[in-house]
Chains A and B, each alone.
Chain A
Amino acid sequence: MSEAVRVMVVDDHPMWRDAVERDLAAAGLEVVAVAATGREALARFPAARPQVVVLDLQIPEPDGVAVTAAVVEHDPEVKVLILSASGEQADVLAAVKAGATGYLVKSASRDELLDAVLRTAAGDPVFTPGLAGLVLGEFQRTSDSPDEPHLTERETEVLKLVATGLSYRQIAERLVLSHRTVQNHVQNTLRKLQMHNRVELTRYAIERGLDGDE
């Protein structure tokens, strides 16, 4: 990579923030901004113009989900990597629906974090098996309504393998696909999940609109 990846770190625990910042800087990445609260994050984001936001979900208002939605809205090119301690399932899913493309628990090692940030910057979705299970569950939950986006059989198969701990390389070998194709399938599931979120938002807006007419 010719230019250093520009990263913003958002976490309300100073020790954590410093640790992540130090690790990323030591690996040659450029930490362009840090923030301790959602408000600070949103205030500093436009000027810092990071490529990747490493974001803790449990931060003072507005929370990680809202920050994700806001920064993606502001800059559709930005990538959000969720770094969460508790891994509260509903929050993680909400953040991914809001536009985050990666999720890592804080117990991940330094190398794992670095790898995840670089992959996120490259536009690769970073899935943990836990996240894959959540996404599968989300599509199964809405599987019987015709106007929601559905996963193809292949996408489901790939996601299932991610959820049982296979790496993209292992999945490619097992399904006799190229590494790139596997990545595309995973990316598509995320896109559909985010689209599903937009469907929900639209429906919500319509319902609210109809209420207003009454």
Chain B
Amino acid sequence: MFRALAVLRIVLLVNAVAFNLYHAADYAHPIAAAACVAAMVLWTGFATWAYADKRRRGFPLLTADLALAVALTLATPWVKGPDLTASLPGFWIMGALFAWAIHYRLFGGLAAGVLLAAADLARQEIDASDYGNAFLLILGGAIVGFMCDSLQLMATERDAAERESAMAAERARLARIVHDGVLQVLALVQRRAPELGGEAAELGRLAGEQERALRELIRAQDAVTTVHGDATADLASELARLGSRTVTVATPGTPVEVPAPTAREVVAATRSCLDNVRVHVGEHAPAWVLLQAFPDRVEVSVRDDGPGIPAGRLDQAATEGRLGIVESIRGRIADLGGTAELATGDFGTEWEIVVPRTDDLGSAS
């Protein structure tokens, strides 16, 4: 910030020197004017060096900077004579103004602006353009001060965010290594235990359950790293949570973002399908869930290996008004504008749930 100001100072100095050389013939005290310009040149050189190091940027330096600008402004009427309106240092005073704004922020910029404006107004009769200049000085100081504050804040926040994301990535990497080790051991126990027989078999079964739970957790966690707002949810990781010893869940490798209420309903419907499998096929009957994501729709298939439903059973149940679960699944999905079809045969029973991803539902991806 101060480096940019140093460049600005030199530009302002060249402008002020050129302006004063051009008008020098009309001055009341040309020698004093030359001394003033020399002071500006020397001070600019000194300030460029002094401000370069953070340790030197203290109250004494900033005060001297501002005092010189005010003094030069106040000296103008005597040096130039009463007829010339432009101040001797001209825009050069911006160097001191911005130094205050950058260092002391909003209030520094405001204070320096007020002081310089007061000095500028005090040296002459006030007309409209003088008033405008004074107003700009105050406003400029305040705005630059405010912006510096915001920039500093943003830089701090950005640094913190970068640090945090680097830390999160490192944590995730370490967790992955630990998880993998745990999974290996659990899988091994599960594999070896039945061969040992007796109580070990039960141990193996428990290890298998934990292994599966951990694997699903990792999958769900991987999905969390993709940022999504409150309004959407990742259907893939939500469905993956339904996986168990008997339920196999297959999803695309990438998150499937749908509106959160849609995800909730689809998961609930899927859970109903799986409950149905437990009731009609058996407590430990295997089932499979497949999620497919297309640009315009998501499809969830739920299949079991059961004997299927005899032809006409459903119609008969419908006429008798006891469709219970089947109707509740269809109803949930119909509310989302989708369809739920039931197919049955010697391959078992299969639900095919199709839900559109419409724009007005906000299919954000």
Contact = CB atoms under 8 A, between A and B. Distances in A.
Given A13-B184, A136-B292, A166-B347, A141 B250 contact: no
B305 interface: yes
Interface string A86-129: 11111001000000000001110110000000000000000001
Contact of A137 (B218, B287, B292, B295): B292
Nearest to A106: B187
Interface in B228-258: 248-254
A164 interface: yes
A85 B292 contact: no
Nearest to A144: B295
A16 B176 contact: no
A133 B187 contact: no
A100 to B, nearest CB: 15
Interface stretch (B6-14, B27-35, B50-58, B188-196): B188-196
Given A15-B188, A106-B183, A106-B187, A133 B251 contact: yes
B264 interface: no
Interface stretch (B207-215, B265-273, B312-320): B207-215
Contacts of B292: 133, 136-137, 140, 160
Nearest to B218: A86
Contacts of B123: none
A141 B184 contact: no
Contacts of B291: 133
A208 interface: no
Contacts of A136: 250, 252, 290, 292
Contacts of B249: 130, 133
A78 B227 CA distance: 40
Contact-size category for A: 35 or more
Contact of A140 (B179, B252, B288): B252
Contacts of A140: 252, 292-294
A132 B250 contact: yes
Contact of B188 (A19, A143, A163): A19
A89 B253 contact: yes
A170 interface: yes
A160 B291 CA distance: 10
A110 to B, nearest CB: 7
B286 interface: yes
B251 A160 contact: no
Contact of B191 (A107, A129, A138, A165): A107
B212 A107 contact: yes
A107 B208 contact: yes
Contacts of B181: 13
A174 B301 contact: no
A41 to B, nearest CB: 17
A165 B345 CA distance: 15
A58 B254 CA distance: 20
A164 B251 CA distance: 11
B293 A137 contact: yes
Interface in A131-188: 132-134, 136-138, 140-141, 143-144, 160, 163-166, 170, 173-174
A172 to B, nearest CB: 11
B286 to A, nearest CB: 7
B286 A165 contact: yes
B335 interface: no
Which of A109, A144, A166 is the most central at the interface, judged by chain B CB atoms within 10 Å of its CB?
A166
A93 B253 contact: yes
B219 interface: yes
A88 B218 contact: yes
B348 to A, nearest CB: 9
Contact of A165 (B176, B179, B294, B305): B305
B350 interface: yes
Contact of A164 (B192, B218, B345, B350): B350
Interface of A: 13, 15-16, 19, 58, 85-90, 93, 105-107, 109-110, 129-130, 132-134, 136-138, 140-141, 143-144, 160, 163-166, 170, 173-174
Given A58-B180, A90-B253, 4 more contacts: A136-B252, A143-B295, A163-B290, A164-B250
5 contacts: A15-B188, A16-B188, A106-B183, A133-B290, A164-B288
